[in-house]
C-alpha cells in the first residue's frame, strides 16, 4: 500500500533499547547470586564466558545515565532468576532484590519506564538439575518467581514481558545453551514440546497472576517473530511457508492470546507421537492468560520451500536460520536480501509485513522488544565508533514501523537490541549491537569504559523528534 501521508508515531511511543541479565550484567556469582544454566554451559570455542560481560552490575548508574542522555522513554532489561532466588525455589536473596530495586529506581529517576523481562534464557542451574522445564513442577517454580517479582517490584514496574523467545528455546535450545533432555528419553520431540507446554502454562498463569496482583500493570509475551515467505509462487511452497509460520510463530501467539494450540502444529506433533500431556486444569489455565500487548523480537524474515520428506534435513544454525522439518518445510536462502557480517539476512520491508500479519491475527498493541545489527565495531584512537551500517539498518526498520502504523497497526514502542554492547548468545563479544560501546575484547577485559557510538547521537535525535527526523 502506498501512502500519500504518513501517520506520526504516537506521542507516548516508548523509544528505548533492550538487554538481558546474563548477557550484560556480569557479577555472575557475586552477592549471593546462584549460577544459571548460562554460567555452567560450555561456551562456544573462541568466545568469552559470562562472568563479566559488560559489567552492568557495577555500572548500571553510568549506563542508565547514558540511556537518559539518549532520551530513552523505556529500558527493557531482564531479571536474573538465580540472582533473586539462587536455588530457583526457596530462599530469596536480599542483595538481588536490592540490585533490581536500584536499577528500577535509577530508571524512574530519569523518567525511563522499566520494561521487565521475567525470564531471558537463564534457568537457575539448580533447577536444571531437577529437570528444568521437563519437570511439571517448573510451572509452580516460575509462578513463585513471578510472585516474588510482583511483590517486590510491582509498585513501580508497569510493563512486564514473560518469557523471552520461548520459540527459540524450543527450536534452537542447544545453540542458546538451554536445552536439558532427561536421561533415557526416547522421543526428544515429545520431550521438547512437553517443556514448551509447561512454559506456555507457566506464562498464562503468570499473566493471570499479574492481573490479579497488579491491576494497573500490563503484561505480554516476547517471542521472536519472523514472517515466513514461500520460496516461489508454487502452491506447495506456500503450504511449506504456512507450516513453518505455524511452528515458528503462530503456535506461541495463538497460545498466548487465545489459549489454544495451533492446529497445524498439533497435527504435526500427532504425526510424531509428540503431543504434550495436559495436566488437570491446564486447558483452563491456558485460556486465562490474556496478554495486554504483544512484545516481539524481529531480526529478519525466513523463507522456505516444500519438502517431500524423503531425506534428513540439516538442523538450524541459530535463531535466524530457517531449518527444515521433514515433510513440513525446508529452509531456503532468499536471494533478494543482503546479509549482515554475521550472515543474518536484512529485510526491513519484511518487518512491516510481520507487523501487519500479527496485527490482523491478534488485534493487540505491539512493542518491538528487539531488532538490530550485530557487527564488528571498532573504537578509534580518539574514542569514536563510526557505525553508519547500524544507523542505516535501524533507520530502514523504523521507517517500516511508521508505515505499519500508517497501515493501521497499533504500535506502542521500539526497543532495539541492544542498549549497551554485550555478549552474544553464541558469537561472543565481537558481535556488537549497542549504541554504547564497551571497551573490552573477547578475552581481554581492558577498561570496560563506555563510549558513545555515532548511532548513539543519531538515536538521540530520532527520539527527540519522536521519529520524525531519521536523517544522519
Hey, which residues are catalytic here? Answer: 370
Q: Which residues contact 455 (CB under 8 A, 6 or more apart)?
A: 387, 390, 391, 394, 435
DSSP 3-55: -SSPPPPPTT-EEEEE--HHHH---TT-TTPPPBHHHHS-PPTTS--SSSTT-
Nearest residue (CB) to ligand BGP, 180 versus 424 = 424
Establish if 156 lies at the interface with ligand BGP (CB under 6 A): no
170 vs 460: CA distance, rounded Å = 36
Q: Which residues contact 427 (CB under 8 A, 6 or more apart)?
A: 44, 47, 342, 374
Nearest residue (CB) to ligand BGP, 297 versus 455 = 297
| Nearest distance, CB of residue 426 and ligand BGP, angstroms | 6
155 vs 169: CA distance, rounded Å = 30
Establish if 166 lies at the interface with ligand BGP (CB under 6 A): no
Nearest residue (CB) to ligand BGP, 262 versus 320 = 320
Nearest residue (CB) to ligand BGP, 402 versus 418 = 418
Site for ligand BGP in 350-409 (CB under 6 A): 370, 374
Write the CA distances from 339 to 250, 325, 348, 374, 389, integer angstroms: 25, 24, 12, 11, 12
Site for ligand BGP in 229-288 (CB under 6 A): none
Which neighbouring-strand residues pair with 219? 160
Establish if 20 lies at the interface with ligand BGP (CB under 6 A): yes
Q: Which stretch binds ligand BGP (CB under 6 A): 228-236, 396-404, 406-414, 418-426?
A: 418-426
Count CB atoms within 10 A of the CB of residue 134: 18
DSSP 88-157: SSS---HHHHHHHHHHHHHHHHTTPEEEEEEESS--BHHHHHTTGGGSTTHHHHHHHHHHHHHHHHTTT-
Nearest residue (CB) to ligand BGP, 168 versus 436 = 168
Establish if 167 lies at the interface with ligand BGP (CB under 6 A): no
Sign of CA dihedral 420, 423, 426, 430: positive
Contact pick of 425, 429, 436, 450 for ligand BGP (by CB under 6 A): 425
Contact pick of 426, 452, 460, 461 for ligand BGP (by CB under 6 A): 426
Nearest residue (CB) to ligand BGP, 125 versus 415 = 415
**Shortest Cβ contact with ligand BGP: which residue?**
424
Q: Which stretch binds ligand BGP (CB under 6 A): 161-169, 205-213, 249-257, 447-455?
A: 161-169
Contact pick of 49, 292, 399, 427 for ligand BGP (by CB under 6 A): 427
344 vs 458: CA distance, rounded Å = 23
Per the structure block, which three cell numbers stand in for 469? 527526523
Pattern 168-207, binding to ligand BGP, x per CB under 6 A?
Answer: x---------------------------------------
Establish if 307 lies at the interface with ligand BGP (CB under 6 A): no
Q: Which stretch binds ligand BGP (CB under 6 A): 99-107, 162-170, 446-454, 455-463?
A: 162-170
H and E: helices and strands count for the chain:
16, 13
Point out which residues bind ligand BGP (CB under 6 A): 20, 23, 164-165, 168, 224, 297, 318-319, 370, 374, 417, 424-427, 431
Amino acid at each position: 500500500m502506498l501512502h500519500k501521508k504518513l501517520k506520526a508515531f504516537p506521542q507516548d511511543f516508548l523509544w528505548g533499547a533492550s538487554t538481558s541479565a546474563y548477557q550484560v550484567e556480569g557479577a555472575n556469582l557475586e552477592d549471593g547470586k546462584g549460577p544459571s544454566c548460562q554460567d555452567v554451559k560450555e561456551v562456544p570455542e573462541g568466545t568469552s564466558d559470562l562472568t563479566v560481560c559488560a559489567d552492568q552490575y557495577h555500572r548500571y548508574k553510568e549506563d542508565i545515565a547514558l540511556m537518559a542522555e539518549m532520551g530513552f522513554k523505556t529500558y527493557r532489561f531482564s531479571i536474573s532468576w538465580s540472582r533473586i532466588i539462587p536455588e530457583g525455589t526457596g530462599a530469596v536473596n536480599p542483595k538481588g532484590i536490592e540490585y533490581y530495586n536500584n536499577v528500577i529506581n535509577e530508571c524512574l529517576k530519569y523518567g525511563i519506564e522499566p520494561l521487565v523481562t521475567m525470564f531471558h534464557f537463564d534457568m537457575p542451574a539448580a533447577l536444571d538439575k531437577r529437570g528444568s522445564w521437563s519437570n511439571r513442577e517448573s510451572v509452580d517454580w516460575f509462578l513463585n518467581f513471578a510472585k516474588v517479582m510482583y511483590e517486590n517490584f510491582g509498585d513501580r514496574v508497569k510493563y512486564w514481558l514473560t518469557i523471552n523467545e520461548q520459540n527459540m528455546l524450543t527450536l534452537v535450545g542447544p545453540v542458546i545453551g538451554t536445552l536439558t533432555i532427561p536421561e533415557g528419553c526416547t522421543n526428544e520431540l515429545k520431550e521438547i514440546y512437553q517443556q514448551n507446554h509447561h512454559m506456555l502454562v507457566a506464562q498464562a498463569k503468570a499473566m493471570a497472576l499479574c492481573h490479579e496482583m497488579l491491576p494497573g500493570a500490563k503484561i505480554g509475551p516476547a517471542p521472536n517473530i519472523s514472517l515466513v515467505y514461500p520460496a516461489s509462487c508454487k502452491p506447495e511452497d506456500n503450504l511449506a511457508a504456512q507450516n513453518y509460520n505455524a511452528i515458528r510463530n503462530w503456535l506461541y501467539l495463538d497460545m498466548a492470546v487465545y489459549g489454544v494450540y495451533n492446529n497445524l502444529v498439533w497435527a504435526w506433533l500427532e504425526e510424531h507421537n509428540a503431543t504434550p500431556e495436559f495436566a488437570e486444569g491446564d486447558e483452563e489455565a491456558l485460556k486465562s492468560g490474556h496478554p495486554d500487548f504483544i512484545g516481539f523480537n524481529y531480526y529478519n524474515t525466513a523463507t522456505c520451500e516444500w519438502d517431500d520428506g524423503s531425506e534428513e534435513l540439516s538442523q538450524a544454525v541459530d535463531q535466524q536460520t530457517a531449518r527444515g522439518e521433514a515433510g513440513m518445510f525446508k529452509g531456503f536462502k532468499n536471494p533478494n536480501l543482503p546479509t549482515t557480517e554475521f550472515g543474518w539476512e536484512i529485510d526491513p520491508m519484511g518487518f512491516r509485513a510481520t507487523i501487519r500479519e500479527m496485527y490482523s491475527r491478534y488485534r493487540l498493541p505491539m512493542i518491538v522488544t528487539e531488532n538490530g545489527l550485530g557487527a564488528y565495531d571498532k573504537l578509534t584512537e580518539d574514542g569514536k565508533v563510526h557505525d553508519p551500517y547500524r544507523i542505516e539498518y535501524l533507520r530502514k526498520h523504523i521507517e517500516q514501523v511508521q508505515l505499519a502504523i500508517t497501515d493501521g497497526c497499533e504500535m506502542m514502542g521500539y526497543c532495539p537490541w541492544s542498549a549497551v554492547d554485550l555478549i552474544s548468545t553464541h558469537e561472543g563479544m565481537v558481535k556488537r549491537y549497542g549504541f554504547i560501546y564497551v571497551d573490552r575484547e573477547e578475552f581481554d577485559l581492558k577498561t570496560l569504559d563506555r563510549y558513545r557510538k555515532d548511532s548513539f547521537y543519531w538515536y538521540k535525535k530520532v527520539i527527540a523528534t519522536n521519529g520524525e527526523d531519521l536523517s544522519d
